[in-house]
Amino acid sequence: MAQQPYDRYYKAAAPLPDYTNPEIKTLFISGLPDDVKAREIHNLFRHRPGFDACQLKYTGRGNQVVAFATFFSHQSAIAALRALNGVKFDPDTGCALHIELARTNSWRKRKPGSGPYVVIDNRDRNNAQGSSSDDGGSESDDPSETDKQDSGDEDDVVNAKSGGSAGVDGAEAAVSNQEDKATEGNTQACSTLFFANLGPKCTEDELKQVLSQYPGFNVLKMRGRGGLPVAFADFEEIEQATKAMEELQDTQLESSDRGGLHIEYARSKMRKR
């Protein structure tokens, strides 16, 4: 297919989003199903390094819903964009997220006392905006449905099962046998994770800040090995370590000058205390 004669026109008229504008710390998310909840958006981003807050907006155009997610830095916004853009948000409909840098930063600062996310409803005059929610404590765990989206950013192969009738059998083999399975390389599942591919200026605080968002996170230990730091993160349960590993695999820390995080199960569990 050759170039359209119109190319020159919309290049001039509608410039593409500027992915390099370092001012922008807010992402614009579209491609959402119209029954999406603000909580789902929050769960999608809450573990991403540098995440600040998000808002869900009913545009008033039909049932279209869009969302904005604000980060503490442009860099972390970009990292989340790259990790989540194109992810199938709803496996049933094949609904894929489209994420770009927002044209302008979210002006809405987080007010003390307001929840971690905000809903703006322009569908009609029924609803006022600015209602914030708190799902029974900010530490509440994610429902497992939203989990798959994060890990699905590289491979959607897992979706083969979706739509099937899972769990009807009751106590079937649904219990994950991660103790004898190796999700990473050939190492055994372990409640301690090994972090590599860290940048030289990665700090313990930076990693802690990311990891402390994960349920079950216990202790972090960093070792400077000749030049490149590595880290060990201990979790209460293997499942919790697994989840953190899946979600954080390949994510770019702000400190990183190389690729994203490389995470494996540690070869041995962190010593107790």
Are 192 and 233 spatial neighbours (Cβ–Cβ below 8 Å)?
Answer: yes
3-state secondary structure of 142: coil
Q: Is residue 262 involved in binding DNA (CB under 7 A)?
A: yes
Longest Cα separation, the chain: 69
By beta-carbon proximity to DNA, the closer residue of 43 and 251 is 251
User: Backbone phi, then psi, for 218, in 5-degree steps?
Assistant: -110, -75
User: Residue 147 or 250: which CB sits closer to DNA?
Assistant: 250
208 binds DNA (CB under 7 A): no
Stretch that binds DNA, among 6-14, 86-94, 134-142, 261-269 (CB under 7 A): 261-269
The interface region with DNA, picked from 30-38, 51-59, 163-171, 259-267 by CB under 7 A, is 259-267
- Residue among 48, 94, 43 at smallest CA distance from 67: 43
Question: Closest distance between DNA and the C-beta of residue 75, in Å?
Answer: 20
Q: Is residue 268 involved in binding DNA (CB under 7 A)? A: yes
Closer CB to DNA, 82 or 269, in the complex: 269
Query: Which among 54, 75, 78, 77 is positioned nearest to 66, based on CA atoms?
Result: 54
Nearest to 78 by CA among 98, 100, 60: 100
Contact call for residue 32 and DNA (CB under 7 A): no
Our finding on whether 78 is near DNA (CB under 7 A) is: no
Q: Which is nearer to DNA, 125 or 273 (CB)?
A: 273
d(CA 131, CA 162): 33
- The least CB distance from residue 227 to DNA, in Å, is 11
> Is the CB of residue 236 less than 8 Å from the CB of residue 218?
yes
If one asks whether residue 266 binds DNA (CB under 7 A), the answer comes out as yes
Six-digit token string for 160 = 């083969």
* Sole binder of DNA in the list 70, 192, 218, 256 (CB under 7 A): 192
Taking alpha carbons only, the member of 76, 77, 4 closest to residue 68 is: 77
Select from 26, 138, 160 the least CA-distant residue to 88. 160
Find the binding residues for DNA in span 127-186 (CB under 7 A): 185
Is 259 among the residues that bind DNA (CB under 7 A)?
A: yes
Q: Please, which residue, 125 or 271, has the CB nearer to DNA?
A: 271
Angle between helices 144-151 and 38-45 (to 10 degrees): 50
Binding site for DNA (CB under 7 A): 185, 187, 192, 194, 196-197, 221, 223, 225, 228, 230, 232, 234, 259, 262, 264-271
